[in-house]
Structure 1
Amino acid sequence: MFRLYESDGCGLCEQAKALLGQTPIVHVGCELIDIAHDEQLIERFGHHIPVLEHQSSKQLLFWPFDQVQLAQWLKQLPEFSDLQE
């Protein structure tokens, strides 16, 4: 359902993973993608990681984001539009 583009040794990525860990709706269905071994992903996200992607809509949420921004982003996705903040 979600992908988090990240890389080993990325402090911001660790912060994003900790934040997502507090958000069960994302954490449970989140695939971690290490961009380090994929040239296309490095080109696309290299200077922007961590980046959260909703797989079916391809919507992206770029770091930095907090719980409020994450909730707002989720609410604009069709299947989460009825979420309470």
Structure 2
Amino acid sequence: MIRLTLYTTLGCHLCQQLEALLVTLCAGEYRLERVEISEDDALVERYGVRIPVLVDAEGRELDRGFEAPRLAAWLAERGWLEEDAWAALQRQLAGEAEPREARGATMRGGRRYLG
């Protein structure tokens, strides 16, 4: 299982965007530990202007992972990229395809739930 850490804070819309992309682009199962930076001055100092920051088990960090090409490249370097999903997302971003529902997403009452 892939183990990832996400440095985040409450209400971070960019963090939510990264998580949605991760659901779509990450091949295989992963465990995401969310670390709230606002409760620790040292974490605020280190990550405050950089969140969301995604970190793999070896400590390699990704800033701005909410940008799909950056996240896709980071995942590909580790062999974790779902290639078909990335190709579909690229077509969608280019306006060539209909949006693809995230794996495991369901619609209830007009809202999308992951999991």
TM-score by length of 2: 0.58
Q: How many residues get paired? A: 80
> Which consecutive unaligned segments of at least 5 residues does structure 1 have?
none
> Which consecutive unaligned segments of at least 5 residues does structure 2 have?
84-115
* Aligned position for 2:60: 59
* Aligned position for 2:10: 8
* Aligned position for 1:41: 43
Q: Which amino acid aligns with 2:57?
A: Q
TM-score by length of 1: 0.75
Aligned CA RMSD, in angstroms, stands at: 2.3
Aligned-residue sequence identity (percent) comes to 35
1:23-47 superposed Cα distances (whole Å, 9 cap, x missing partner) = 3447732111111101111110000
- Residue 27 to residue 60, structure 1, CA distance change in 2 (3 Å): farther
Q: 5 Å matches for 1:14-29?
A: 14-25=16-27, 28-29=30-31
Q: Which structure shows the higher helix fraction? A: 1
Larger relative contact order, structure 1 or 2 (CA cutoff 8 Å, min sep 6): 1
Structure 1 outlier segments of 4+, above 3 Å: 23-27
Considering only CA atoms, is the larger Rg found in Structure 1 or Structure 2?
2
